[in-house]
Amino acid sequence: MSGRRTRTAVLAVVVGLLVGGGGVGTAWALTDEVGGAERTGAADPSADARAACGALDRFEESDYGTEGPAGEKAMNRWGGAVSLAAAAAAGDEEYEPLATALRRAQARHLRVFDFDADVMKDLDEARRICSEL
């Protein structure tokens, strides 16, 4: 009898998840415009470029690689800036210089595991580009 109750409970949970997930998906489909792109600016490459610059502005090279929250924030901001700049460039070639500067900095950093003068040169270039957006 216990096995039957377990099967019934599991079946109820699965049906509940399917119905609930379907309801949430339907609500999103009915309320979003173009997957939310028009509402959130997701289709706008300039939004990605601004977000990349925001992440870069808050990125602290000295925190990169340290343990704890400061290191985690630095690592994620660095990766986010590179990824968002690439997304912006994919949407509009105007942002290719920003993406290129950050890709060069990232590639150099991956080779030397440090923010040396060459990496900083590319980071400074990316920050200069950001200041002009």
Query: Global pTM?
Result: 0.68
Percent composition of the chain: helix, strand, coil (DSSP 3-state, to 5): 85, 0, 15
Please give the angle made by the CA atoms of 23, 28 and 34, to the nearest 5 degrees: 150
Q: What backbone phi and psi angles, to 5 degrees, belong to 95?
A: -95, 5
89-103 residue pLDDT tens: 999 999 999 999 999
Report long-range pairs for 93-100 (Cβ below 8 Å, ≥24 apart). Answer: 94/45, 95/45, 95/46, 95/48, 95/49, 97/129, 98/49, 98/52, 98/53, 98/126, 98/129, 98/130, 98/133
Assess whether pLDDT exceeds 60 at residue 57.
yes
The predicted pLDDT at position 46 comes to 96
Q: What is the pLDDT of residue 42?
A: 57
Distance CA 46, CA 98 (A): 12
- For residue 41, the model assigns a pLDDT of 53
> What single letter denotes the amino acid at residue 121?
K
DSSP category for residue 93: G
